[in-house]
Amino acid sequence: MGSWKRRPCVGALLACAAIAVSCCLQGAYAVAAPSFGDNFEITGAEDHVKTSADGQTWYLSLDNKTGVGFQTKQKYLFGWFSMKLKLVGNDSAGVVTAYYMCSDLDAAPERDELDFEFLGNRTGEPYIIQTNVYQGGVGGREMRHSLWFDPTAEFHTYSILWNPKQILFFVDKVPIREYRNSDKPNNKFFPIAKPMYVFSSIWNADDWATRGGLEKTDWTKGPFVSSYSDFTADACAWGAAAGAATPACAAKTGDSWWDQPPAWALDDGQRQDSGWVARNLVIYDYCDDRKRFPTVPEECALRTTAS
């Protein structure tokens, strides 16, 4: 299949998500859609954030003084998390746009974390998308992919499905990474116990992000701007107040679509898509790195798709 004109299969899992979101949007003529400010608060220099007139799109900028970010006002345990992003265009070497979930408001040593990181490049060179999973402060589970489109030309959708059975990273409804839990209780690789906030940020990482740090940020090309819209969290929300009681949805009740059997594994169409991604778009996979991991990490054997 051609990597540029391919029409991805979309299975029952995403259909359920679309139905759930559609139901939430019924009556939208009576109630305005939440703005970014309803869901998020700015972290860092507020003058580096601009908002569209309708409040539905945020623009984050990075210059040689500082970057900026935002975080959700509440945290979540399991669910579907989705955001549209348009990445920094032109020469973006050294610039990283991060869209991630984390159990702590800082880089706490015992944090759980799910990462999308978009690594900028020189003009004309493609972006690289890096994903990672932390459990108990231990990460190092990087995968890197190329993309089948220009992520700077228009908005594209990046999503995470997280439930007790699996974590899936999606790009425009295509599952690019499958990360499964095991039946073994209390394993050391799958984040399952800590609710997480949703974050995004833009920052300078020219010490490592582009060609291992060989390409430095050209500040004459700044400011560098990333754009965000259409955040969706169809998920189990924790109360914003400290010490809030554990919500009923945190239990494995099966009441939500993301905690039912169709969301526990890839369907046939998604498995086909995932296999195509593995054959065509993977740049680096820690599971294949015998220098770093002479013994294959336990979670790598749980994947249901292969190249």
Burial of 42 (0-12, 13-18, 19+ CB in 10 A): middle
Active site residue 113: yes
**Among residues 41, 46, 110, 113, which one is catalytic?**
113
Distance CA 44, CA 62 (A): 11
First vs last Cα of the chain: how many Å apart?
Answer: 14
**Among residues 117, 178, 215, 299, which one is catalytic?**
117
Contacts within 8 Å (CB) and 24+ apart, 178-185:
178/266, 178/274, 178/303, 178/304, 178/305, 179/133, 179/141, 179/299, 180/299, 180/302, 180/303, 180/304, 181/302, 182/298, 182/299, 182/302
Distance CA 129, CA 121 (A): 11
Distance CA 55, CA 114 (A): 27
**Half-sphere CA count of 216, side-chain side, radius 13 A:** 4
Distance CA 198, CA 238 (A): 12
What is the token pair recorded at 130?
């890096």
Q: Which of 146, 58, 131 is nearest to 99 (CA)?
A: 131
Active site residue 117: yes
Distance CA 107, CA 109 (A): 6
Distance CA 68, CA 91 (A): 19
Catalytic positions: 113, 117
